[in-house]
């Protein structure tokens, strides 16, 4: 893992008209509820079978912005009974640093309605990273390999290091094990700052970690991003997260990880200036857009897509159509 000069441009947004290549399908609903989550899941469920892993960020204790537990419970109860939530322990010393403390945090946050598999509790495994320049393999929780298919159920929001956290972050950081994989992504060996890797290099390392997991599951993986309670902070910051000032948008789903993350970013940019200023500043200041261009370079998906409005007979719409009428700040909902 020698030092390599990373790519550039992570602070520069590429408009849709300047992108090239094929288009994928991304589904969209404005219905931020358990019913909306179940409805959009039906659009991507066909690839999920056998033992299903549901990767979501279960949050630090009392974290205010995580996906509401009742939504996830209804989805699992109605559509994927027998599925398990999967998580890994954290690299930093906090509420989820050890398996024992992690289990306590899961109870505090209400993740008790189905099994939660802390996949690195019993060790780690190495998965190859196809075409990686930073890694040839990534260390993940060993027990993730027990599953046949994978649902990335992601709370889309800002992120202190990544600029934004979508499906790429949920998988790349969230499936890397706590003490080996996450360290490879975040820290240059031999120096004291555990978070020294940043900007383009960080985006590329995180994305290569994601590549290891999605290559393992091949075509048996689906992605859902929930654009709600979008603080500039990640859910790993718990109650210390910055206040939410970006309005809620909706839920997106796809079988293409790049397309679904790109569409979420496009919807943020399509919001009025007063509504998206803080989140865009966080994304660009961290060079977070490098996540998207590097996913494309690695052949992980398409940055062009057809946005399908499932609220209106599957009409094809634009990002501007999707956020039409949304303005101002955030209004708390019943699940916060």
Domain map (residue ranges) of the chain:
16-322
**Nearest by Cα to 162 from 293, 59, 2, 10:** 10
Q: Which CATH architecture has domain 16-322?
A: 3-Layer(aba) Sandwich (3.40)
Q: For residue 242, what are the CA distances in angstroms to 27, 65, 137, 265, 295? A: 29, 10, 34, 19, 28
The residue-averaged pLDDT of 273-282 equals 94
| Rounded Cα distance, 276 and 7, in Å | 26
Decide: pTM greater than 0.85. yes
The residue-averaged pLDDT of 300-309 equals 98
Query: Burial level of 186, CB count in 10 A (0-12/13-18/19+)?
Result: buried
Instruction: Note the pLDDT tens digit of each residue in 20-64.
Output: 999 999 999 999 999 999 999 999 999 999 999 999 999 989 887
The band of 2, judged by pLDDT with boundaries at 50, 70 and 90, is very low
Per-residue model confidence (pLDDT) at position 81? 96
Q: Across the strands, what pairs with 306? A: 25
Helix (H/G/I), strand (E/B), else coil: 94:
coil
Instruction: Note the pLDDT tens digit of each residue in 176-189.
Output: 999 999 999 999 99
The band of 8, judged by pLDDT with boundaries at 50, 70 and 90, is low
Higher pLDDT, 65 or 292: 292
- For 291, the token pair is 């996540």
Per-residue model confidence (pLDDT) at position 330? 43
Place of tokens 């999605």: 214
Instruction: Note the pLDDT tens digit of each residue in 198-244.
Output: 999 999 999 999 999 999 999 999 999 999 999 886 767 566 668 77
The residue-averaged pLDDT of 288-294 equals 98
The band of 1, judged by pLDDT with boundaries at 50, 70 and 90, is very low
**Nearest by Cα to 142 from 178, 111, 170:** 178
- For 303, the token pair is 């940055």
Mean pLDDT, rounded, of the chain = 93
Instruction: Note the pLDDT tens digit of each residue in 73-132.
Output: 999 999 999 999 999 999 999 999 999 999 999 999 999 999 999 999 999 999 999 999
Instruction: Note the pLDDT tens digit of each residue in 316-335.
Output: 999 999 999 997 644 434 33
Cα 39 to chain centroid distance, Å, stands at 20
């Amino acid at each position: 893992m020698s030092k390599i000069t990373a790519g550039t441009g992570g602070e520069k947004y590429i408009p849709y008209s300047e992108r090239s290549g094929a288009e994928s399908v991304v589904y969209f609903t404005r219905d931020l509820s358990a019913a909306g989550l179940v409805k959009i899941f039906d659009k991507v469920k066909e690839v999920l079978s056998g033992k299903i892993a549901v990767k979501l960020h279960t949050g630090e204790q009392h974290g205010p912005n995580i996906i509401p537990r009742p939504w996830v419970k209804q989805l699992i109860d109605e559509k994927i009974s027998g599925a398990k939530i999967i998580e890994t322990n954290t690299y930093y010393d906090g509420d989820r640093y050890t398996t024992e403390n992690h289990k306590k945090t899961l109870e505090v946050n209400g993740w008790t309605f189905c099994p939660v598999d802390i996949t690195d509790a019993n060790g780690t495994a190495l998965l190859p990273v196809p075409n990686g320049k930073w890694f040839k393999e990534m260390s993940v929780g060993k027990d993730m390999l027990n599953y046949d298919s994978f649902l990335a159920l992601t709370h889309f929001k800002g992120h202190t290091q990544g600029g934004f956290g979508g499906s790429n972050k949920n998988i790349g950081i969230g499936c890397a094990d706590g003490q080996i994989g996450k360290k490879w992504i975040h820290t240059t060996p031999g120096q004291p700052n555990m978070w020294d890797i940043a900007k383009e290099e960080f985006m590329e390392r995180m994305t290569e970690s994601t590549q290891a997991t999605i290559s393992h599951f091949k075509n048996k993986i689906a992605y859902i991003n929930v654009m709600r309670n979008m603080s500039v902070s990640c859910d790993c910051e718990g109650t210390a997260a910055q206040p939410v000032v970006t309005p809620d948008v909706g839920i997106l789903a796809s079988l293409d990880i790049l397309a679904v993350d790109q569409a979420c970013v496009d919807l943020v940019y399509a919001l009025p200036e007063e509504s998206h200023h803080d989140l865009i500043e966080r994304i660009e200041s961290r060079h977070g857009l490098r996540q998207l261009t590097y996913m494309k370079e690695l052949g992980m998906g398409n940055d062009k897509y057809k946005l399908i409005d499932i609220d209106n007979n599957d009409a094809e719409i634009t990002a501007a159509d999707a956020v039409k009428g949304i303005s101002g700040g955030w209004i708390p909902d019943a699940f916060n």
